[in-house]
Amino acid sequence: LIQERASPDGSCLSPARSTRAGRLFSADEVSEIGRSVASGLAYLHTAHRLMHGDVKSANILVSRDLTRVKICDLGVSIGLSADLRKPHDRRIQYEGTDPWRPPETLLRADGDFCESDDDEDGVMHLCDRTDIFAFGLVIWEMLCGDVPHATMHANGDEAYRQALGTRPPLPQLHRDFADLTHVFRCCTEREPDSRPSASQLVLWLGGSPSDIASSPSLDDA
């Protein structure tokens, strides 16, 4: 599911939509990849005060041996305030990709955005935790081997649109995945302030504080 096409020695990174040879990732593999992605997001958020703005499997490159994980495509990244709670430019729009869109980026019937908590009608309320919702759906992809909400297409366009910004259901998983399902649920809380930070996720997924500061996991290209 995570992008994977590499040379035999695992040294080359390039995207290719696939599962790993037709099988899903193990719990350890999901944790390892998730930790690397969270580390990259933590570095982006804290060191550069940037929100990625389009976290999804297609923007995560993984070597065949899983030893190298990179976040790519910062073309729609958004500069954040010092406290990471809002964009520098409040008029900016979240580009993202529909299946991974957080609720606060979706327009309501009244013309305002979900999770609006002030009087600025028509303004997206974006912050570092906007990336975290999309990260949670990447975890879901690795657990389920599918694009979020893909099955809703069969129920029509309106059902699909209603599903966007919600937490897709998980199948019955082995108890080995219990911690990961907890991470997924925390990341996909509807209220942004209820989601963990990227730095917290690094620790939850088995990393250390040094992973947050020294392992950016960002594509240099």
The distance of Cα 152 from the centroid of its chain, to the nearest Å, equals 20
- Nearest-CA neighbor of 164 among 107, 121, 116? 107
- Nearest-CA neighbor of 43 among 201, 204, 179? 201
Mapped onto helix, strand or coil, the DSSP state of residue 220 is coil
- Residue 80: phi and psi, rounded to 5, are -115, 160
Q: Is 54 a catalytic site residue?
A: yes
- Does residue 69 come out as left (phi exceeding 0), alpha (psi in the -120 to 50 range) or beta? beta
Structural tokens at position 47: 């060191």
Q: Which of 28, 54, 65, 89 is catalytic?
A: 54
**Secondary element (H or E) of residue 51:** strand 50-51
Structural tokens at position 149: 């909400």
CA dihedral 43, 97, 219, 205 (to 10 degrees): 50
- Residue 76: phi and psi, rounded to 5, are -115, 25
The distance of Cα 92 from the centroid of its chain, to the nearest Å, equals 20
**Any idea which residues carry the catalytic annotation?**
54
